[in-house]
Chain A
């Protein structure tokens, strides 16, 4: 079966560090970075990028729409 791989790109300087995306990620890809962005918020990043399936849960609940999602079927 073809495996689905995903990736998210976070607009770091627009992230407000609310952590909602980390709570809804079914594969625990997202985490908060120890560094802060220009506004002083810890921003969300892909801590475990291999596990991302591109399910869009994070982007769906993100209040500031800072997440862009990519998805591709891995050729088997």
Chain B
């Protein structure tokens, strides 16, 4: 049998993976190697798989992902800084039959929006919160965030985060897992293929909980910020595995019965 040529393999019927059509044609504005791109794709793929494209409303945050409404070809709204969950609450109450999700970074959800986030979770608003945690303020130039881990160097903690002076990191996921309003709380990551697939399952599950009207579903994604951490993308993945993951343990923290 003759060797298969590349032209014989690259055919429409052999295609097993391609970009989801729910992405717009705009190139993503993120730095090379940033985890935001994968997180965007997973949310969109879940929406595509659940066939709820015309029935979903996303709320964009302020931060690196402020332009996520430009990349996601679905109905999106842009909230004031930190207020995405408050806005999502309003949208969900006006359109209870729509799927509503927020997509927020740590500067948005864990800093200026801590109050909104905790109270939304405590009220058990029937929405999905996707929380991207890279331990730094990426968009504004790598300042220290509430989620910056101890001894981590940022532009406003150049000698490392001193917890005596700068306080301890805020573990939002552990915090909201205690609240009665949340039904599904998990922490995942997107830097290896296995973890990406697990994260996608978790996001799918979060939307299933919303479908079953169980309460707030909260998925944290620990991600890298190679520009803010001043590393190459591959070095930042290594740094994430060595330093972020021991502090932010992956796994499902809370899972109410779905049926």
List A residues at the B interface (Cβ < 8 Å). 5-7, 9, 14, 16-20, 23-24, 41, 49, 54, 56-57, 59-72, 74-76
Contacts and interface: CB of A to CB of B under 8 A. Distances in A.
A33 B23 CA distance: 26
A15 B137 CA distance: 25
A49 B27 contact: no
B225 to A, nearest CB: 12
B190 to A, nearest CB: 8
Given A7-B6, A16-B33, A49-B6, A63 B15 contact: no
Contacts of B19: 65-66, 68
A68 B12 CA distance: 11
B32 A75 contact: no
B164 interface: no
- Most chain A beta-carbon neighbours within 10 Å: one of B1, B19, B191, B232: B19
A69 B11 CA distance: 10
B1 A75 contact: yes
B165 interface: no
B14 interface: yes
Contacts of B10: 7, 9, 70
Interface string B206-241: 000000000000000000001000001110010000
A56 B194 CA distance: 11
A68 to B, nearest CB: 5
B37 A71 contact: no
Interface in B10-47: 10-11, 14-20, 23, 27-28, 30-38, 41
Contact of B237 (A20, A54, A64, A72): A20
Given A7-B9, A18-B33, A57-B193, A64 B16 contact: no
Contact of B192 (A7, A19, A61, A68): A61
B41 A65 contact: yes
A66 B237 CA distance: 20
B94 interface: no
- Most chain B beta-carbon neighbours within 10 Å: one of A65, A67, A68: A65
Contacts of A64: 27-28, 30, 37
A65 B33 CA distance: 11
B233 A71 contact: no
Nearest to A67: B17
Contact of B233 (A5, A20, A67): A20
A72 B14 contact: yes
A57 B41 CA distance: 14
A59 B35 contact: no
Contacts of B14: 70-72
A-B residue pairs, 6 tightest by C-beta: A63-B37, A18-B33, A16-B32, A18-B32, A69-B17, A18-B233
